[in-house]
Amino acid sequence: MTTSSTAPSVSSVAAYAAPAANAPLEKISVPRRPVGEHDVLIEIKYAGICHSDIHQVRDGWGEGIYPMVPGHEIAGVVTETGPGVSKYAVGDRVGVGCFVDSCRECEACLAGQEQHCAKGMTGTYNALDKNGEPTYGGYSTHLVVDENYAVRIPDGLSLDVAAPLLCAGITLYSPLNHWKAGPGKKVAILGLGGLGHMGVKIAHALGAEVTVLSQTLSKKEDGLKLGADHFYATSDPKTFEELAGSFDLIVSTVSAPLDMDAYLALLKVGGAFVNVGAPEEPNSLNMFSLIGGNKTLAGSMIGGIAETQEMLDFCARHGLGAEIELIAADRINEAYERVLASDVRYRFVIDAATI
């Protein structure tokens, strides 16, 4: 059927959910709203497993809404459109990332930074929508979303390797883009996991000279294959001597506390250290580490819709997808344990046909 409709074609869908904080995920049914005027119904094909899914399922951020269907790295195909939809048609390949709505009128929204909406973006899951209904994420067979909060997945990208781009890809693309990683720039990616491996690929494709800073050299071969020019172990104190004053930009994907003064010393004059990983504990630093050398300490959180589209188009042009391990839905709990043990290269992706 290619005609549009406002009738609810899917009202209840299969999903994997945590019934309560810390409980293992299990198969349940969740409601999906009727396809509204500006909505598209997406048949989900793949959903990535992001580290923050595990945090939220285990109520690491508090006030979790249960049952919780995680998943904000979603790739699928449009199967129905509301009558007012103009961006997408049935059969289009689309993605949904970390949020599904925002106020659309604040300064951030108008600037295409919906993730920083003054009224708070509506998370793809573990949030309440405008009607006060809980949102359920991508570990599911279908999703209804406003067309303005979906992005197009270009034909050159397979949907399975595209799914993780919706969080991991944009999380790294946005700071690399903002801080102008490119030819002549020396960029370090700190941590080579789900986020970091996309950082290496994207920074390399942007034309920067890329260094991986990893705890050990165990992933060196991978790092070089992904596009890094250099690879150093941060457990080796000589790394900090050798690389002092080297980088224009360091993007940290690490969520453990860091010796900030030691890392800031690796920046050139005018260099920037950008956090996309979020340590749970506050971090301290000596302000002289920033003052000497006019350095910048910054943060970055995912990206807006327009920049997410730009990232997908960039990745398609450069043939970049995530390195994935495809799993059936009944292996989600096992995959979570492996993510926590850093035993994945580099992203688990759920085949939604198995849900």
Contact residues toward Zn ion (CB under 5 A) are 50, 52, 102-103, 106, 109, 117, 167
Residues 37/86, Cβ–Cβ less than 8 Å: no
Residues 76/352, Cβ–Cβ less than 8 Å: yes
Three-state SS string over 24-54 comes to CCEEEEEECCCCCCCEEEEEEEEEECCHHHH
Least CB distance from residue 47 to Zn ion, whole Å?
11
Closest CA to 163 of 23, 353, 16, 347: 347
Specify the residue, 52 or 174, whose C-beta has the smaller distance to Zn ion: 52
Least CB distance from residue 78 to Zn ion, whole Å?
23
Closest CA to 204 of 227, 230, 181: 227
Specify the residue, 118 or 269, whose C-beta has the smaller distance to Zn ion: 118
In eight-state DSSP terms, residue 83 is: T
Least CB distance from residue 351 to Zn ion, whole Å?
19
Specify the residue, 109 or 161, whose C-beta has the smaller distance to Zn ion: 109
Specify the residue, 52 or 140, whose C-beta has the smaller distance to Zn ion: 52
Least CB distance from residue 119 to Zn ion, whole Å?
5
Specify the residue, 106 or 224, whose C-beta has the smaller distance to Zn ion: 106
Any long-range contacts for 338-341 (C-beta under 8 Å, 24+ apart)? 339/49, 339/51, 339/54, 339/194, 340/54
Closest CA to 187 of 228, 216, 139, 126: 228
**Residue 117, both tokens:** 């909406």
Specify the residue, 198 or 266, whose C-beta has the smaller distance to Zn ion: 198
Closest CA to 123 of 68, 204, 78, 178: 68
- Is residue 16 reached through a cis peptide bond, with omega within 30 degrees of 0 on the bond before it? no
Least CB distance from residue 153 to Zn ion, whole Å?
17
Least CB distance from residue 168 to Zn ion, whole Å?
7
Specify the residue, 229 or 323, whose C-beta has the smaller distance to Zn ion: 323
DSSP per residue, 299-318: E-----HHHHHHHHHHHHHT
Least CB distance from residue 157 to Zn ion, whole Å?
18
**Residue 296, both tokens:** 């910048």
Cα gap 31→127, rounded to integer Å: 14
Least CB distance from residue 293 to Zn ion, whole Å?
32
Which ranges of the chain does DSSP label H, i.e. alpha helix? 51-57, 107-110, 159-162, 168-178, 194-206, 220-226, 237-242, 260-264, 288-291, 305-317, 332-340
Specify the residue, 102 or 234, whose C-beta has the smaller distance to Zn ion: 102
Specify the residue, 25 or 50, whose C-beta has the smaller distance to Zn ion: 50
Least CB distance from residue 344 to Zn ion, whole Å?
14
Please report, for residues 144, 191, 291, 312, 352, the alpha-carbon distance to residue 332 in angstroms, rounded to integers and kept in the order given: 23, 24, 46, 26, 12
In eight-state DSSP terms, residue 330 is: G
